[in-house]
A = this chain, B = another copy of it.
Amino acid sequence: MIKRIVMAQKPSIPKGTRDFSPEQMAQRNYIFDTIKDVFRSFGYSQIETPAMENLSTLLGKYGDEGDKLLFRVLNSGDPFDKVDLGAYRNEDGTYRSGTLSAALCEKGLRYDLTVPFARFVVQHQSELAFPFKRYQIQPVWRADRPQKGRYREFYQCDVDAIGSNSQMLELELVQMVEAVFKKLDINVLLKINNRKVLTGLAEVCGFPDKVVDITVAIDKLDKIGLEAVEEEMISKGLTKEAVAVLEPVLQLSGSTSEKIAAMRVVLAASETGLKGLDELEELFGFIAAAGVECPVEIDLSLARGLNYYTGAIFEVKALDWQIGSICGGGRYDNLTGIFGLPGMSGVGISFGADRIFDVLAGLGKFPEGLSTSTTLLFANMDTASAAYVLPLAAKLREKGVSVEVYPDSGKLKKQFDYAAKKNIPFISICGSTEAEQGTVNIKNLATGDQKAFPRGSMADIVAFLQ
């Protein structure tokens, strides 16, 4: 037996994970509550799925790199006695980690909310109303190397609709993005691309397998200019003729409809590309009809999720704060196919809570008073005064006021310090005089205003505390 070491040093948490203090929770809840209110106003309902999924559900869904980043949960019981560990050994003495861990671990922590959502839809399909519109706000876990802004546990905040091809659902995502960031008072630019258009571009220039190279090159247009982009395309194996075909697309300008019109010429020979333009055109028609005011533009360089998105691709940038995208998503035509339910098209978007937090903090846009949890602190002079204020505190709570009675009598300085540390704006000190007179005096700690009330005049007290 290894001797159990009694812990003496300060405890810590696993790297890449975080505790959230009351102040941080208040700020995070402000973001989540704002987002939830918007989701609900569009008829999206909340679901939750378990933190642990069967590894068979998770493996192979995120690429080889993703499989390595899954946190695996050791089978309970005595898992090692059920497995011949030696059989998993290579000749050089190392172990075949993947297969050995598969033998020892049946479960893994969820890596995102999309695969569990697909699993949920297939498993519960008979109970759901389609199109099924759901949101889900839960932590996910990735065994990534932790660094600034990258955590091993972080919340995702996803909204998806599944079971319809209609661009009305893309519109709803656009509208929800607009509403969320309007409420949070963050100026954003919403960029839209379409996977079918990218496919079309690769087709018409004769290099259908170069979608990623073409998109990555286009992405550098702002930074390195037209000529360098064309050179990069050629370095990736495209011909001069192919680049010439794409050139009009690299020089798009004007309104969204002018851009779409210009692309129609380039993509005339690609059925897929034209379908993508039809989708974009329909979506921008809906956006105009619905009166969306937030800036929305086509951006052909958006390369998010090229492996799984099949239609629209979305990305949201904060305009007044330098940070990566704070929101992203797209349409996937066959999300549930892997779980045996083909032909379900869905579209969704994920709000990046941690980055939105950073933007709000950076711009100083968290509302004031978020971390004020208590409105009034009754000081505790002695047992008799505590007995006098307890029913008052109870009545104020019934009126919706958040009230504390300091639990220990003793130095008032300590009680004032407590109020200051908790940002409690009002304090009441009732001693024997107040008890005799049946009064309550309350002090506004910010202004110094102090007032005495008859203890029965709850309405006046509540008004003073507002």
State whether A13 and B105 are in contact (beta carbons under 8 Å apart), knowing that A19-B47, A397-B41 are contacts in the complex. no
State whether A95 and B119 are in contact (beta carbons under 8 Å apart), knowing that A340-B8, A400-B41, A404-B43 are contacts in the complex. no
Q: A101 within 8 Å of B by Cβ?
A: yes
Q: Are B407 and A49 in contact (CB under 8 A)?
A: no
Q: Kindly provide the distance from the CB of A113 to the nearest chain B CB, expressed in whole angstroms.
A: 12
Q: Are B374 and A43 in contact (CB under 8 A)?
A: yes
Q: A367 within 8 Å of B by Cβ?
A: no
Residue of B nearest to A97 (CB): B78
Q: Are B124 and A100 in contact (CB under 8 A)?
A: no
Q: Are B99 and A2 in contact (CB under 8 A)?
A: yes
> A100's contact among B51, B80, B106, by CB below 8 Å, is which?
B80
State whether A25 and B47 are in contact (beta carbons under 8 Å apart), knowing that A81-B95, A85-B85, A286-B390 are contacts in the complex. yes
Q: A56 within 8 Å of B by Cβ?
A: yes
The docked-state distance in angstroms from the alpha carbon of A142 to that of B12 is 22
Please provide the chain A residues from 20 to 75 with a CB less than 8 Å away from any CB of chain B in the complex: 20-22, 25-26, 29, 40-54, 56-57, 59-60, 68-69, 71-74
The docked-state distance in angstroms from the alpha carbon of A67 to that of B168 is 52
Q: Kindly provide the distance from the CB of A150 to the nearest chain B CB, expressed in whole angstroms.
A: 14
> A41's contact among B1, B40, B46, B401, by CB below 8 Å, is which?
B401
Residue of B nearest to A107 (CB): B14
Q: A459 within 8 Å of B by Cβ?
A: no
> A53's contact among B13, B94, B100, B139, by CB below 8 Å, is which?
B13
State whether A175 and B394 are in contact (beta carbons under 8 Å apart), knowing that A25-B47, A47-B25, A134-B22 are contacts in the complex. yes
For residue A5, which residues in chain B have a CB less than 8 angstroms away from its CB? 56
For residue A4, which residues in chain B have a CB less than 8 angstroms away from its CB? 59-60
The docked-state distance in angstroms from the alpha carbon of A290 to that of B165 is 60
Q: Kindly provide the distance from the CB of A19 to the nearest chain B CB, expressed in whole angstroms.
A: 5
Q: A369 within 8 Å of B by Cβ?
A: no
Which residue, A46, A99, A380, has most C-beta atoms of chain B within 10 A? A46
Q: A453 within 8 Å of B by Cβ?
A: no
Q: Are A57 and B95 in contact (CB under 8 A)?
A: no
Please provide the chain A residues from 359 to 412 with a CB less than 8 Å away from any CB of chain B in the complex: 373-374, 377, 380, 386-387, 390-391, 393-394, 397, 400-405, 407-408
Q: Are B20 and A48 in contact (CB under 8 A)?
A: yes
The docked-state distance in angstroms from the alpha carbon of A45 to that of B80 is 43
Q: Kindly provide the distance from the CB of A215 to the nearest chain B CB, expressed in whole angstroms.
A: 28
Q: Kindly provide the distance from the CB of A80 to the nearest chain B CB, expressed in whole angstroms.
A: 4
Residue of B nearest to A119 (CB): B11
Q: Are B169 and A407 in contact (CB under 8 A)?
A: yes
Residue of B nearest to A92 (CB): B81
Q: Are B105 and A386 in contact (CB under 8 A)?
A: no
For residue A407, which residues in chain B have a CB less than 8 angstroms away from its CB? 131, 161, 164, 166, 168-169, 172
For residue A40, which residues in chain B have a CB less than 8 angstroms away from its CB? 373, 402
Q: Kindly provide the distance from the CB of A163 to the nearest chain B CB, expressed in whole angstroms.
A: 9
Q: Are B21 and A127 in contact (CB under 8 A)?
A: yes
Q: Kindly provide the distance from the CB of A408 to the nearest chain B CB, expressed in whole angstroms.
A: 5
The docked-state distance in angstroms from the alpha carbon of A97 to that of B82 is 11
For residue A10, which residues in chain B have a CB less than 8 angstroms away from its CB? 122-123, 339-340
Contact string, A74-109, partner B, CB cutoff 8 A, digits 1/0?
101011110001001000001101011110111101
For residue A139, which residues in chain B have a CB less than 8 angstroms away from its CB? 51
Q: Are B49 and A19 in contact (CB under 8 A)?
A: yes
Q: Kindly provide the distance from the CB of A336 to the nearest chain B CB, expressed in whole angstroms.
A: 10
Q: A153 within 8 Å of B by Cβ?
A: yes
For residue A201, which residues in chain B have a CB less than 8 angstroms away from its CB? none
For residue A141, which residues in chain B have a CB less than 8 angstroms away from its CB? 51-52
Please provide the chain A residues from 272 to 294 with a CB less than 8 Å away from any CB of chain B in the complex: 285-286, 289-291
The docked-state distance in angstroms from the alpha carbon of A127 to that of B340 is 51
Q: Kindly provide the distance from the CB of A23 to the nearest chain B CB, expressed in whole angstroms.
A: 8
Q: Are A95 and B80 in contact (CB under 8 A)?
A: yes
For residue A171, which residues in chain B have a CB less than 8 angstroms away from its CB? 390
Contact string, A221-261, partner B, CB cutoff 8 A, digits 1/0?
00000000000000000000000000000000000000000
- 6 A-B pairs besides A13-B54, A68-B76 with CB distance below 8 A are A17-B51, A25-B47, A52-B71, A52-B152, A80-B100, A289-B391
A-B contact pairs, 19 of them (CB 8 A): A14-B50, A14-B54, A17-B50, A19-B124, A20-B48, A21-B124, A25-B45, A43-B403, A50-B153, A71-B76, A73-B74, A74-B74, A80-B100, A81-B97, A129-B421, A164-B408, A168-B405, A291-B391, A291-B394
